Amino acid sequence: MTEIYILRLGHRPERDKRVTTHVALTARAFGAKGIYVSTLDEELERSVRSVVKRFGGDFTITTGIKWREFLRNFEGTRVHLTMYGTHIDDALPKVRTAMTEKMLIVVGAEKVPPEVYQAATFNIGVGNQPHSEVAALAVFLDRLKEGAGLRTDFHGRMTVVPCERGKKVVNDTE
């Protein structure tokens, strides 16, 4: 099974805190193993680790990485989600054929430098229209994993119990 990681470029803590948190949580919920963020943000790390501690899984977060070096040295398939890329429906069969043991999915917060497009194995557009990187990541991971990511049991202290109405959370620490 391919290990999937996310590289978040251009995170601006004062402006992108919630969006980058949502990118991380979406990645975790849809089956990625971890996220790397180009900007150092210890609060973001604490927030994501808190969710992992409570709801389970082995998702990791590292901020403040040198993304150019990281991207250049990543050994595996590199997927850049961009509205300018090949439409997801056309790209996914090729991605599945080319998948290696590890995959890095790159999502930007602001304009992505041209070198990212050049370093990517695939530049994929989820709809080829302006939209959220959170949405693009969710759609891509769901399609790539054919829905299996959403059926993962994270074995956490806290578990959400699906119900038609209301909210039910089982907390093993109580």
Using one digit for the tens of pLDDT, what is the confidence trace for 47-96?
999 999 999 999 999 999 999 999 999 999 999 999 999 999 999 999 99
Between 73 and 11, name the one with better pLDDT: 73
d(CA 106, CA 45): 18
d(CA 40, CA 25): 18
Predicted TM-score (pTM) of the model is 0.92
Domains and CATH numbers, the chain: 3-171 (3.40.1280.10)
Using one digit for the tens of pLDDT, what is the confidence trace for 98-149?
988 999 999 998 889 999 999 999 999 998 888 899 999 999 999 999 988 8
CB 2 within 8 A of CB 121: no
Q: How far is CA 81 from the centre of its chain?
A: 10
The helix (run of H) or strand (run of E) holding residue 84 is strand 77-87
